[in-house]
């Protein structure tokens, strides 16, 4: 290993900064899926090591690539097999070289209709070195000739990997470990408890399965520290301009010492080397917030997947809306015809799509449309010429229509969870309830007609984004990373505080999960029911409950995750002072809880007032109140009832109550076993109390 340096520890917090999962996006492949989390906060500053700054959003797999995933690749690619260890299906795939990892990532791209990330020009085997992308190739990036910028999946660069592992977006700081802390993690062989990492284990134990390999990073990835070393895309000495250069590996493995886990430790191997301690994970592009395509490029943008049946899809410059080019769908032979440009997003969106369509001949027997849909259900919406009537443009309801006319027309669909609106050239065709969130958009041409031509140009996608705001109490916003002070609480009592989640954005706020973290997490409780959503400009009210078990300063962190890409983790530091009947901070003879409860009478739990406390106890009995000591001195010959001369009987009812604050009295639970008559004929009741300064009140009546 090279460049071994050390960080000094900065704190003593030992927790996993995320115990509730963020919004996970599962991408499906043949035989398996990969869970991704979005790494947002584009443009963050670099760490003092120089690494970690990334000026765009991207996604990173939650877990390492497993042996099952490599097996699926090998089944699909029998002539370019990837070698690996065989510890078990859900174990991380190790003894995989960098070159083989690049082959796997390329297959993820090509099997889902995307451009490969890495250029292989030889056929000797899966472990051949890549070639640099030439500047003439679509997707060439002069800042990184290793990776094609049109690829959907790729190996994470060192900066991408580093940010996801060590950066805490809520505080804009980096940590020494992926637990979100600078304190040395708890070493375990497996598990997901807070503050744990799979490291410092005997070599023969091996790595844990990928889903049980330590707690999550602040962004929600598992095992970027420990378990197995992970390949980075980057060469050891930037830039990525030599295919034979050493490649970086990071994070340590199950056998590593603590220093191997830290940000300043960089491993390295030849790209064709493979070890039983090294695996990898997959990175991917993030969904755009806004995407436009004017079809001015030299080829169809890789944003689109293309499907053709008896049709062609080409770029041409004779019929355009604006600019120099538009995309042209053309039928080629008889029979059923289909042409589609499609894009499947990694998650469901609310928002707007629009495209300009050129209707060449309103009499041609062909259908074309702009569509949005949900691939997990049958939900869809569209506008265009539909298969029930090729003489008009129809909206989603199949009823409202506009007569077809030749020329350019703008089709627009605006959609949300609760509403749907379609329009042509700015005129509303349909507007109503029954909306949905969609994850697929498509430009289409289909039908049985003998000939057909359709042009599309100037496509626009805009995702409506939610924006979370927390108010504690209601109408008092607390910024993420801010502090809430709960004031004084009484130990062993519960108090509720109104908390509001407000959505100030334009998209539906979903995927809400609340977790409590920190030393006094058990003092506070806050729950968001599953499935809770907040509409744009809407709000939902909850209660934060504080129930301190003892006295002292109580601190915790409330973490709320959501689908708000700008603030995926909303954190509020909770602080409160708990006062207990067991504590007497100022040592003046009255417990803290009692003095706070009597604050309106001049008592102060922080400042000693021995004289005031003594006078209070000395005079309390004048109104029938007795301390424990005073109760022992109550005269035994007090007349508390009269005999009824007509019946010569007496009923004696005694009710005993106790209080800590002279305001709230509770009845003492009496045990018959503690009631007795002594040898002198006295009625005795023995009651145990641990509090030194409780007030007792007795009520009796006789008849």
**Dist CA 481 CA 487 (whole Å):** 19
224 and 297 assigned to the same domain: no
Q: Is the pLDDT at 1 greater than 50, yes or no?
A: no
Task: Give the end of a domain, one of 436, 463, 490.
Answer: 463
294 and 279 share a domain? no
Query: What local confidence, expressed as pLDDT, does residue 399 receive?
Result: 60
**Model confidence pLDDT, tens digit, residues 370-398:** 999 988 787 889 999 877 777 888 875 55
User: How large is the average pLDDT for residues 625-648?
Assistant: 56
Residue 291 has pLDDT above 90, yes or no: yes
Q: What is the mean pLDDT of residues 687-692?
A: 57
Per-residue 3-state assignment (H helix, E strand, C coil) for 180-206: CECCCCEEECCECCCCEEECCCCHHHC
> Is the domain of 567 the same as that of 637?
no
Q: Does residue 673 lie within any of the structural domains?
A: yes
| pTM of the shown model | 0.68
Please list the residues that pair with 451 across neighbouring strands. Answer: none
Query: How far is CA 156 from its chain centroid?
Result: 20
Query: Of 435, 463, 491, at which residue does a domain stop?
Result: 463
CB within 8 Å of 530: residues ≥ 6 apart: none
The percent of the chain in helix, strand and coil, each rounded to the nearest 5, is: 10, 35, 50
Asked if the model's pLDDT at residue 15 lies above 70, the reply is no
Of 230, 263, 287, the position where a domain reaches its end is 287
Judge whether 598 lies within some domain: no
| 603 part of a folded domain | no
- The answer as to whether 597 is a domain residue is no
Tens digits of residue pLDDT in 145-196: 999 998 999 999 999 999 999 998 878 899 999 999 999 999 999 999 889 9
Surface-to-core class of residue 530, CB atoms within 10 Å of its CB (0-12 exposed, 13-18 middle, 19+ buried): exposed
Q: Total domain count for the chain?
A: 4
521 with 570, same domain: the answer is yes
Residues 49 and 186 in one domain: yes
Residue 421 maps to which CATH number? 2.60.120.200
With bands split at pLDDT 50, 70 and 90, how would you rate the model's confidence at 7? very low
pLDDT for the residue numbered 660? 67
Specify whether 452 is located in the same domain as 475: no
Q: Are residues 269 and 340 in the same domain?
A: no
Tens-place pLDDT, residues 31-86: 999 999 989 888 999 999 999 999 999 999 999 999 999 999 999 999 999 999 99
pLDDT at 630 over 70: no
Under the banding of pLDDT at 50, 70 and 90, the label for residue 640 is very low
Q: pLDDT for 394-438, tens place per residue?
A: 875 556 778 889 999 999 999 988 889 999 999 998 888 767 889
Judge whether 584 lies within some domain: no
Residue 586 in any domain: the answer is no
Of the chain, the end-to-end C-alpha distance in Å amounts to: 93
Q: Are residues 59 and 198 in the same domain?
A: yes
In the predicted structure, residue 356 carries a pLDDT above the cut 60:
yes
Domain co-membership, 209 together with 296? no
For residue 184 the two structure tokens come to: 């040395």
CATH value at residue 141 = 3.90.1580.10
Q: Which structural domain range is residue 376 located in?
A: 290-463
pLDDT at 269: 96
For residue 629, being part of any structural domain is answered with: yes
Mean pLDDT (the chain) is 87
Which whole number is the average pLDDT over 232-256? 95
Helices marked H in 620-674 — which ranges?
628-631
Whether the predicted pLDDT of 275 surpasses 90: yes
Q: What's the pLDDT score for residue 6?
A: 23
- Indicate if 256 and 339 belong to the same structural domain: no
Residues 309 and 407 in one domain: yes
* pLDDT over 70 percentage in the chain: 88
The burial class, CB within 10 Å (0-12 / 13-18 / 19+), for 629 is exposed
pLDDT level of residue 9 (50, 70, 90 thresholds): very low
Is the pLDDT at 522 greater than 50? The verdict is: yes
Residue 591 lies in a domain: no
Token representation of residue 597: 């409860």
Specify whether 295 is located in the same domain as 173: no
Surface-to-core class of residue 375, CB atoms within 10 Å of its CB (0-12 exposed, 13-18 middle, 19+ buried): middle
CATH of the domain at 547: 2.60.40.10
Give the pLDDT confidence score for residue 606 in this predicted structure: 94
Do residues 151 and 109 lie in contact, with contact meaning Cβ atoms separated by under 8 Å? yes
Q: Which of 504, 524, 516, 520 is nearest to 567 (CA)?
A: 504
Mean pLDDT value across residues 336-355: 90
Q: Which two tokens stand for residue 602?
A: 């001049």
Lowest mean pLDDT, pick from 152-166, 243-257, 284-298 = 284-298
Q: Where are the alpha helices (DSSP H) in 196-311?
A: none
Q: pLDDT class for 565, splitting at 50, 70, 90?
A: confident
């Amino acid at each position: 290993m090279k460049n071994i340096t050390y960080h000094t520890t900065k704190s003593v917090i030992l927790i996993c900064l995320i115990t509730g999962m963020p919004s996970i996006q599962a991408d499906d492949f043949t035989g398996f899926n990969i869970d991704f989390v979005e790494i947002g906060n584009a443009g963050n500053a670099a760490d003092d090591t120089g690494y970690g700054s990334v000026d765009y959003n991207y996604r990173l797999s939650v877990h390492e690539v497993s042996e099952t995933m490599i097996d699926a690749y090998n089944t699909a690619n029998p002539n370019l097999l990837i070698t690996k260890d065989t510890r078990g299906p859900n174990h991380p795939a190790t003894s995989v070289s960098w070159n083989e990892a690049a082959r796997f990532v390329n297959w993820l791209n090509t099997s889902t209709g995307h451009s490969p990330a890495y250029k292989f020009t030889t056929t000797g085997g899966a472990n051949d070195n890549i070639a640099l992308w030439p500047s003439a190739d679509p997707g060439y990036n002069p800042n990184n000739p290793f990776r094609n910028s049109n690829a959907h999946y790729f190996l994470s660069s060192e900066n991408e990997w580093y940010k996801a592992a060590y950066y805490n977006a809520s505080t804009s700081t980096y940590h020494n470990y992926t637990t979100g802390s600078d304190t040395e993690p708890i070493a375990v062989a497996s598990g997901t408890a807070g503050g744990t990492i799979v490291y410092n284990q005997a070599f023969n134990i091996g790595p844990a399965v990928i889903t049980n390999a330590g707690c999550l990073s602040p962004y929600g990835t598992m095992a970027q520290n420990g378990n197995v070393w992970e390949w980075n895309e980057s060469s050891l000495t930037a830039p990525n301009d030599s295919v034979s250069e050493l490649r970086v590996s990071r994070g340590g493995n199950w056998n590593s010492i603590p220093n191997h886990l830290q940000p300043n430790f960089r491993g390295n191997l030849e790209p064709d080397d493979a070890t039983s301690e090294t695996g990898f994970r997959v990175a991917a592009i993030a969904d755009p917030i806004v995407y436009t395509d004017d079809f001015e490029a030299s080829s169809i943008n890789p944003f689109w997947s293309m499907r053709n049946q008896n049709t062609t899809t080409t770029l041409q410059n004779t019929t355009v809306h604006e600019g120099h080019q538009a995309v042209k769908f053309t039928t080629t032979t008889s029979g059923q015809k289909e042409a589609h440009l499609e894009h499947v997003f990694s998650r469901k969106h609310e928002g707007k799509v629009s495209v300009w369509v050129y209707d060449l001949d309103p009499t041609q027997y062909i259908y074309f449309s702009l569509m949005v849909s949900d691939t997990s259900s049958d939900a869809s919406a569209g506008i265009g010429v539909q298969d029930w009537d090729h003489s008009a443009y129809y909206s989603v309801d199949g009823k409202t229509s506009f007569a077809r006319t030749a020329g350019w027309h703008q089709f627009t669909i605006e959609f949300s969870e609760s509403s749907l609106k379609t329009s042509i050239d700015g005129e509303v065709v349909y507007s109503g309830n029954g909306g949905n969130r969609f994850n697929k958009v498509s430009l289409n041409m289909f039908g049985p007609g003998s000939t057909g031509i359709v042009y599309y140009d100037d496509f626009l996608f805009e995702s409506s984004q939610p924006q979370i705001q927390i108010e504690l109490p209601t109408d008092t916003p607390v910024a993420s990373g801010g502090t809430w002070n709960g004031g004084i609480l009484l130990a062993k009592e519960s108090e509720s505080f109104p908390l509001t989640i407000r959505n100030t954005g334009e998209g539906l706020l979903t995927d809400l999960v609340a977790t409590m973290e920190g030393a006094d997490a058990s003092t506070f409780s806050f729950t968001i029911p599953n499935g809770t959503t907040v509409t744009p400009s809407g709000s939902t009210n909850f209660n934060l409950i504080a129930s301190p078990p003892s006295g002292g300063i109580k601190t915790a962190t409330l973490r709320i995750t959501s689908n708000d890409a700008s603030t995926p983790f909303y954190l509020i530091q909770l602080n409160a002072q708990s006062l207990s009947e067991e504590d007497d901070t100022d040592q003046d003879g009255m417990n803290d809880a009692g003095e706070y409860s009597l604050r309106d009478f001049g008592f102060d739990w922080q400042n000693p007032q021995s004289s005031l406390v003594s006078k209070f106890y000395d005079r309390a009995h004048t109104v029938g109140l007795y301390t424990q000591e005073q109760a022992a001195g109550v005269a035994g010959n007090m007349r508390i009832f009269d005999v009824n001369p007509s019946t010569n009987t007496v009923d004696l009812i005694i009710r005993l109550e106790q209080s800590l604050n002279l305001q709230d009295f509770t009845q003492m639970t009496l045990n018959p076993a503690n009631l007795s008559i002594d040898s002198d004929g006295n009625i005795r009741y023995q009651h145990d109390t641990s509090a030194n300064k409780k007030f007792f009140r007795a009520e009796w009546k006789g008849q």
